[in-house]
Amino acid sequence: MAERCSKIPVVNLKKTKIKSSFPNYSLSKILDNIPFLGLDIEGIEDDIVRIEYNPNRPDYSTDLGIFRSLKGFLNRELGIPKFDYSISSHYKIEVDKSVKKIRPYILFFVAKNKEINQDLMEQIISMQEDLHNGIGRGRRKASIGIHDLNKMKFPLRYSTSDKEREFIPLDESNRYSLNQILDILPKGKKYSHLIKDFKKYPILVDQNNDIVSFPPIINSERTKVTLETQNLLVEVTATDLEIARNIISILFCYFYDEKFKIISGPVSEYRTKTFFPLKKLTNKFVRVKEDYINSILGLNLSTHEIISSLKKVRIDAIKLKNKELKCIIPQYRTDIRNPIDVVEEVSLGYGIYNLEPNLPSFKISAGIEDPVSEFFRELRKTIIGFGFQEVLNFSLVDQKGIEIEETYNEKNNHLLKVHESKSSEHEFLRASLIPSLMKNLSHNIHEEYPQKIFEIGKIFRIDENMTEKWNLALSISSNNTDFTQIRSLLRSIFKITFDKEIQTKPLKHILFINGRSANVFFQDHNIGIIGEVSPKIISDYNIRVPISILEIDLSEIIKDIK
C-alpha cells in the first residue's frame, strides 16, 4: 500500500465515527477527555479531529487504538482487551535460510471478510507509515506489507533473489529489476541503503513464484489493496524479532477491532521449526510496590484504588504479598517496561485532574539570575530591535538537517546520533543552527518577505572531546539581501550590545556563493561564518528568494563578558 507524505504522528478521527463509537456521550465530552490520555488535539476541521500522539505509543496510530483507551477511561471496558483468532495451516509461509543474514524474521496473519472503504484505507495507510517511521526505525528494524489476499496462492515463500529479477512494483505499470527499483524509483532510492550491500535481495513469492513483496522496499502492484478488496494478508519482515512481534500485535489488535476475521497461519523457518505468530503474542508482567507508586505520586491510594486506576488504562493487576502488585501488560503496550511506567499509568487512570498541586515543604527563594542569561537577554533585545523574530528549535534534528550541515564541514565524525531513536525527525544532536533556520524558512515560503529570524541555541560536537556550546544563528530572506547587509548588521549588534568590534576575513565555502562569504573573528578567535547562501542549497529547501545567513560561537564572547 502507498504511504502518506507527512512524518508527523497525527491520527485523524472522524466526528461521525466518534459519535457512533460513543453514542451515550457528547462529542465535547469525548474531546474534553482526550488530553487526559496523554494526547493533544492539533486541530478540528469540518468532520475531522486531528490528534497528535507521542511516538512511544504506537498503539495510538489509529482511531480504534485511541478508542480502545477511551473506553477504559470512560469505564465502558476495563482491564486488558480480549482478542480472538482462528488457526489454519492453509495460510503458510516457508522461510529459506538465505534470508538469515539479511532480514531473518517474518510474521503474518490473515484478515478476512470486510470491505475496504475509503476511511479504512486512510487509517491503514496512516498507521503503516507511523509504524514504519517510529517503532520500525525507518524500516531498518521492521517493515510492513499489506496485500490483497485473493491475488496470491499459498503457501508463500520468503527467500532471496538475484538483483536482476523483475516484477511490477506498487503503483507502476512497467516491470523493473530489483536493482532498477533501488536505482530509479523514489521509494527504492529512499530505502536502498537498507539492503544495497547484500549480494542478493529478500523477496516474498507465492506458489506460482510471483513476487508479492520486495521487503523492506516495496510491494507488488499485483497484490495492491483497493476499495474492492475484502481479504488481506498482513506481514512484517524484520531484523529484530521483538520489534516484529510488537508491530504485528498492534496490527492484529487494530484489524480485530475493525471486525475482520483474523486467522493465524504457520511460519516454517528453514524447515526446522514451525510456529504460529499470533500464538507468540503474550502479555508482559511488571512488578511494582504500592508504596513506590504512592511515594512518586504523593498520594495514599489503597490497593483497590490502584488496581481500579490500572484497569481504566486497560491493564490488569494481581495483589501479591508485602503490598506488591503484579501488573499484566498487553503485548501492544510497547512503552511499558518498568515500575515508573506503571506509576504513569496509575496517574492517568486515577485522573490527572484529581491531582492537587502544592508547594514543597522546604524553603525556597526567588534566586539570582545567571549572568549568562542576562547576556542572552541583552543580545535578544538588540537583535529584536533590528526587526528580527526569534525562533526555538529542537536540539535533535533529522537526516536532512545533518546532510546540509555536512555540506559545509569537511569532517563528519563530529556527529552525535541518538541510539534507537523513536522518531526519524529526531535522530541527531545538531552540530549547527543553520539547518534549523533553513527548515524554518522552508516552512514559511508562503509568508510575506522579507523574513528575518534568529536563534540562540546549543550545538553538540565530538572534537577531541564531546563539547556543548551556545551559538547564535541569524538569517535574512529578501530579494535585496546581500553579504554587505548581514555583515553590517553583525557589526552593529556587537557594538550596541557589547561595545566590541568584530572582523571578517574572506572565506571560500560550499554553503555560500563564491566571493560572498567570510569567517568571523573576535579578538583573534575564529568564531563563525557569514555569507550569502548558494542558490543550490536555497533550491534544495524550495525557497525562492536570496538568503544571507550567519552562525557564530558565543563561547569567547561569554568568557570576555564574564
Q: What is the CATH number of the domain that holds 117?
A: 3.50.40.10
Is the confidence at residue 62, as pLDDT, over 90?
A: yes
How far apart (Å, rounded) are the C-alpha atoms in residues 323 and 304?
11
How far apart (Å, rounded) are the C-alpha atoms in residues 264 and 241?
17
Considering only CA atoms, which of 143, 130, 144, 258 is closest in space to residue 194?
Answer: 143
Q: Give the model's pLDDT for residue 2.
A: 40
| Greatest CA separation for the chain | 81
Q: Looking at the structure, do residues 396 and 494 belong to the same domain, yes or no?
A: yes
Q: Give the model's pLDDT for residue 8.
A: 64
Asked if 295 and 61 touch (Cβ cutoff 8 Å), the reply is no
Lowest mean pLDDT segment, chosen from 8-17, 18-27, 481-490? 8-17
Strand ranges of the sheet holding 284-289, from the earlier edge strand across to the other edge:
284-289, 324-329, 316-319
Q: What is the CATH number of the domain that holds 499?
A: 3.30.930.10
Q: What is the pLDDT of residues 109-136, one digit of tens each?
A: 999 999 999 999 999 999 999 999 989 9
Total domain count, the chain: 4
Decide which of 73, 101, 116 is a domain's last residue.
Answer: 73
Asked if 452 and 476 touch (Cβ cutoff 8 Å), the reply is yes
Residue 47: inside a domain: yes
Collapsing DSSP to helix, strand or coil, 496 comes out as helix
Q: Looking at the structure, do residues 191 and 260 belong to the same domain, yes or no?
A: yes
Average pLDDT (22-37) is: 93
Q: At what angle do helices 303-312 and 339-350 cross, to 10 degrees?
A: 80
Decide which of 280, 297, 321 is a domain's last residue.
Answer: 280
DSSP 8-state symbol, 420 = T
Residue 359: inside a domain: no
Q: Looking at the structure, do residues 194 and 326 belong to the same domain, yes or no?
A: no
How far apart (Å, rounded) are the C-alpha atoms in residues 147 and 211?
12
410 confidence band (pLDDT: 50, 70, 90): very low
Collapsing DSSP to helix, strand or coil, 424 comes out as coil
Considering only CA atoms, which of 46, 43, 39 is closest in space to residue 67?
Answer: 39
Residue 81: inside a domain: no
Average pLDDT (342-361) is: 88
Q: Looking at the structure, do residues 398 and 526 belong to the same domain, yes or no?
A: yes
Q: Looking at the structure, do residues 17 and 91 belong to the same domain, yes or no?
A: no
Asked if 289 and 282 touch (Cβ cutoff 8 Å), the reply is no
Does 462 or 31 have the greater pLDDT score? Answer: 31
Decide which of 73, 105, 125 is a domain's last residue.
Answer: 73
81 confidence band (pLDDT: 50, 70, 90): very high
The DSSP bridge partners found for residue 161 are 201
Q: Give the model's pLDDT for residue 371.
A: 79
Does 418 or 29 have the greater pLDDT score? Answer: 29
Q: Looking at the structure, do residues 52 and 180 belong to the same domain, yes or no?
A: no
Q: Give the model's pLDDT for residue 370.
A: 77
Q: Looking at the structure, do residues 288 and 276 belong to the same domain, yes or no?
A: no
Residue 1: inside a domain: no
Q: What is the pLDDT of residues 374-396, one digit of tens each?
A: 889 999 999 999 999 999 998 88
Average pLDDT (89-108) is: 96
Average pLDDT (397-421) is: 62
Is the confidence at residue 67, as pLDDT, over 80?
A: yes
Tally helices (H) and strands (E) across the chain.
16, 30
What is the sign of the dihedral through the CA atoms of 270, 271, 275 and 278? positive
CA–CA distances in Å: residue 511 to residues 36, 107, 352, 507, 548: 46, 46, 49, 11, 11
Average pLDDT (55-62) is: 93
pTM of the model: 0.70
Residue 120: inside a domain: yes
Strands (E), 23-139: 40-45, 48-52, 86-87, 93-95, 105-112
Q: Give the model's pLDDT for residue 307.
A: 97
Is the confidence at residue 18, as pLDDT, over 80?
A: yes
Q: What is the CATH number of the domain that holds 300?
A: 3.30.56.10
How far apart (Å, rounded) are the C-alpha atoms in residues 298 and 161?
60
CA–CA distances in Å: residue 554 to residues 97, 277, 526, 557: 56, 56, 11, 5
5 confidence band (pLDDT: 50, 70, 90): very low
Asked if 346 and 315 touch (Cβ cutoff 8 Å), the reply is no
Asked if 192 and 149 touch (Cβ cutoff 8 Å), the reply is no
Q: Give the model's pLDDT for residue 461.
A: 81
Burial environment of residue 443 by CB neighbours within 10 A (0 to 12, 13 to 18, 19 or more):
exposed
Domain assignment of residue 308, given as a range: 284-351
Q: Looking at the structure, do residues 15 and 58 belong to the same domain, yes or no?
A: yes
Residue 117: inside a domain: yes
**Which uninterrupted H or E stretch holds 183?**
helix 178-184
Residue 4: inside a domain: no
Collapsing DSSP to helix, strand or coil, 269 comes out as strand
Q: Looking at the structure, do residues 437 and 551 belong to the same domain, yes or no?
A: yes
Residue 366: inside a domain: no
Does 303 or 272 have the greater pLDDT score? Answer: 303
CA–CA distances in Å: residue 397 to residues 210, 248, 406, 437, 560: 41, 29, 13, 12, 31
In a 13 Å sphere around the CA of 441, the CA atoms on its Cβ side amount to 33
Percentage above 70 pLDDT, the chain: 93
Is the confidence at residue 408, as pLDDT, over 80?
A: no
Q: Looking at the structure, do residues 236 and 293 belong to the same domain, yes or no?
A: no
How far apart (Å, rounded) are the C-alpha atoms in residues 446 and 166?
43
Q: Looking at the structure, do residues 523 and 392 belong to the same domain, yes or no?
A: yes
Bridging pattern class, strands 267-269 and 93-95: parallel
Average pLDDT (156-166) is: 96
Q: Looking at the structure, do residues 42 and 139 belong to the same domain, yes or no?
A: no
In a 13 Å sphere around the CA of 545, the CA atoms on its Cβ side amount to 21
